[in-house]
Amino acid sequence: MVKHLIIGTAALGLVASAAQGADGKPIVIGVPIGLSGANSVVAPSVVQSAELAVEEINAKGGVLGRKLALEVADDASGAAGAQKAFDSLIYQKKVDVLISMETSAARNAGLPAVTKGRVPYIYTSFYEGHSCNKNLFVDAWVPEQQVPPVVDAFKAKGAKTYFLIGSDYAFGRGMLGFAKSYVEKTGGKVLGEEYLPMDGSDWTAIISKLKEAKPDALITSTAGGAPNVTLTKQLRGAGVTLPFANLALDEGTAKSMGADAEGVYLSASYVTGIDGAENKAFLAAMKKKFGAELRTPNDLSVPEYEAIYLYKAAVEKAGGTETVKVLEALPTVSFTGPRGTIRMSKQHHAPLTMYLGQIQADGTVKVADTFKDVDPGEQCPKLQ
């Protein structure tokens, strides 16, 4: 198998053969994901948590007596790749459900295939919100859930003026757009809102503007990976020491950024430091299964794990994998996982417990505050 040599992580999409139970055909879960391209940094951790969920469920007898199987397909983190990956999974591999995190462009590109192919799709990535389709469910956060903890915390520390910096793309603009309205609603003032193209790497002029505006606090929302690191490095290089919240920062990136990330605030529905039995059991199981190969679980990989359990619950409730019945069941079932109890009951989105964290000198995240069951707001009023 060439794949092992290439990807290094075992069993990408290969669980299928092992999972074939005696009780008939396995239930196949399609995972279209950016193994290459922008999402390739985080994708392996997502695949790992999917593999753990499938292994755990199969070990306990599967779903309605059927085993689960994974089919992973690379979408190159982009729209054209996603079209191929979704087509391949839906029409070629004939999966029963799609569960994955994606870029917004890839998710959108896949939606027509999801609709035409009539499969349920659980989207497990936080995003800018308002993506509505009757086949689509989301178990990760939207701006309405993530931004208020940050702004409230800064406000409590006395911040009145804010500066917003982001990458020019749907997520960056969506997050900061909401942040701006929330800041203004709570009596604060936004001194500037600046964007650089996603592949831009020179933040010089924006940083100079920031320094001249002299705000009380800074909120950034860049594209993940390179732009995030680049902006943080250049901010630190320019000696910016404001209270600084990074809406696009995940624990793993924070850890690798070292001293540059120290003191930065992040807001997430999952951090490894969550003090709960489910989380500890999950982390232990991940460590046991993957050992040295383990990619640190994060706010993108844990929702994948939980979504597979949510799908299991929906299939059990529906009495089968028939799409219409599963879609009916999905908003009503719940699962208690590392992030607490998740139920996608609000217009195909899920109320979530949010954590405000601050990066420590050693790169770990210290939970500064917890916000219980934050509502996702009006995401898809047409879908009840």
* The one among 18, 56, 64, 79 contacting another protein by CB under 8 A: 79
User: Should residue 181 be labelled a site residue for another protein when binding is judged by CB under 8 A?
Assistant: no
- Report the sign of the C-alpha dihedral through residues 227, 254, 102, 176, in that order: negative
User: Should residue 81 be labelled a site residue for another protein when binding is judged by CB under 8 A?
Assistant: yes
CA distances from 342 to 330, 372, 378 (A): 11, 12, 18
**Residue 317 token pair:** 């409730």
DSSP at 183: H
**Residue 320 token pair:** 């089968």
Distant-in-sequence contacts of 213-216, Cβ < 8 A, 24+ apart = 213/161, 213/163, 214/161, 215/159, 215/161, 215/162, 215/163, 215/191, 215/242, 216/154, 216/158, 216/159, 216/160, 216/161, 216/162, 216/242, 216/243
User: Angle between the 277-290 and 43-59 helix axes, to the nearest 10 degrees?
Assistant: 100
Question: Segment near another protein (CB under 8 A), from 86-94, 336-344, 348-356, 375-383?
Answer: 86-94
Beta bridge partners of 266: 357
Contact in structure between 374 and 354 (CB atoms under 8 Å) = yes
User: Should residue 96 be labelled a site residue for another protein when binding is judged by CB under 8 A?
Assistant: no
What is the footprint of another protein within residues 207-226 (CB under 8 A)?
208-209, 211-212, 225-226
Question: Segment near another protein (CB under 8 A), from 88-96, 271-279, 302-310, 329-337?
Answer: 88-96
Question: Segment near another protein (CB under 8 A), from 155-163, 197-205, 213-221, 270-278?
Answer: 197-205
Question: Segment near another protein (CB under 8 A), from 250-258, 311-319, 333-341, 344-352?
Answer: 250-258
Residue 159 or 207 with smaller CB distance to another protein: 207
User: Should residue 4 be labelled a site residue for another protein when binding is judged by CB under 8 A?
Assistant: no
CA gap 152, 187 in Å, rounded: 11
* The one among 11, 140, 257, 359 contacting another protein by CB under 8 A: 257
* Maximum pairwise Cα distance, the chain: 69
User: Should residue 201 be labelled a site residue for another protein when binding is judged by CB under 8 A?
Assistant: yes
Residue 369 CB, shortest distance to another protein, in Å, is 28
What is the footprint of another protein within residues 20-59 (CB under 8 A)?
35-36, 40-41
Residue 167 CB, shortest distance to another protein, in Å, is 8
x/- contact string, 258-297, with another protein (CB under 8 A)? Answer: x-x-------------------------------------
* The one among 154, 195, 270, 335 contacting another protein by CB under 8 A: 195
User: Should residue 196 be labelled a site residue for another protein when binding is judged by CB under 8 A?
Assistant: yes
Contact in structure between 25 and 66 (CB atoms under 8 Å) = yes
CA gap 87, 47 in Å, rounded: 19
User: In sequence order, which ranges of 238-334 are alpha helices (DSSP H)?
Assistant: 251-257, 277-290, 301-318, 323-329
x/- contact string, 307-346, with another protein (CB under 8 A)? Answer: ----------------------------------------
Question: Segment near another protein (CB under 8 A), from 57-65, 105-113, 153-161, 272-280?
Answer: 105-113
Backbone φ and ψ for 43, nearest 5 degrees, come out as -55, -45
* The one among 144, 152, 191, 234 contacting another protein by CB under 8 A: 234
